[in-house]
Structure 1
């Protein structure tokens, strides 16, 4: 029903810190329920996220990962990631609005959780200047059974939009998706350390 997950990187700062243990509800999206914009999800990324075939783990590594899967202490799956949902199937995404915000289905997102975003200055470094702000993204419609996910530490996250940054022309090949079948569940609470215990 629920399992702990160890946060391995700073891509979700300041919401999550390196080494945090979070509880993941694996039934959050059961029975037809789907992730929504703003949800923090754990998913098993496919090969598109690392650009190559997986190298089989040796027995010791496999055993350590199994322990991580069960306990949440130590490594989880071979490419298990935690990110925030930005948009779901059929939704259209682009960046940026005049004030530098992501736009989903024509409406700018309010993202108070974003930490250290890419530089953006209207008229000086935006989506019309040369060079273009790395915050800018070409318009894309999220495919069926897929989700666009990003890290809260936007400038330090190898996320679904990372390879598309600084582009203004559509390029379907630069996007990476979290597919419905690969989503493990929704992160609901920080379990450890105790002084960071809180709901998500």
Structure 2
């Protein structure tokens, strides 16, 4: 073997040695992978969206939930909120304004360490946030006037009746007679929604404490757009109910 061949051989062996040294055992790479995954999860929860659990029957049959049952798990996306506000017909998750939170109880542990762990995992979307998150459908937006009812018992926005195929249960309506006001009946308003606010109602009208239940507060029952956490777009659990959540604009149907 010539000297040049020996030199080339030593060079190749040296390069192989360098490559071998650069490879780390999996157990050394695992912490790095976990950190990367955690950062991605935190960014997704903060800027893209997160799952929520439906706790009550106020949105039946669109969304299923009740005390003691397995409520729908839904995915709520935030992306569209960066360039547009929620519109009529959108199903949104929002933080209840102050007057909506009188009965809310923290879901965090009384133990400091456990509470800290819960808050930590909430940051990554593994534990629900400790806030009064509610889900309703947008009926009217800022600048519009909402009330009920016309002669057929329909909700009116700016004097025009809404077509609401998603409502299956409502208070009884007797045409041509005096009908009760909410919460014993359908009648409410008129309420002019302030700019930057929303009027929201549950699809299960006779089982929903929504904007109608708070018309006496400082916001007349409306919800600030800034309180909206995102738009519900998909049911992700249980398997029998997996599917999209429709946004049906009742003002154009």
TM range (shorter): 0.7 to 0.9
Inter-partner Cα distance in structure 1 for 2:219 and 2:173: 21
Deviation readout 1:92-145 (Å, 9 max, x if unpaired): 111001100000011101111113211111123437xx9x97200121110121
Q: 1:82 to 1:65 in 2, by over 3 A?
A: farther
> Does the residue aligned with 2:59 lie in a helix, a strand or coil?
coil
TM-score, normalising length from structure 2?
A: 0.66
Structure ID, larger Rg: 2
Match of 1:14 among 50, 61, 64: 61
TM-score using structure 1 length: 0.82
- Matched with 1:103 is 156
Choose 114-123 or 15-24, whichever is displaced more.
114-123
Q: Deviations over 1:57-94 (max 9, x none)?
A: 5344675476567447x654320011000100000111
* 8 Å contact kept, 2:94–2:230: yes
Q: Which has the higher helix share?
A: 2
Q: What is the RMSD computed on CA atoms of the aligned residues?
A: 2.8
Match of 1:85, SS state, is strand
1:22–1:190: 8 Å Cα contact kept in structure 2? yes
Contact persistence 2:196–2:225 (CA under 8 A) = yes
Q: Which moved more, 1:59-68 or 1:173-182?
A: 59-68
- In the comparison of the two structures, how many residue pairs are matched? 189
> When you count strand as a share of all residues, which structure comes out higher?
1
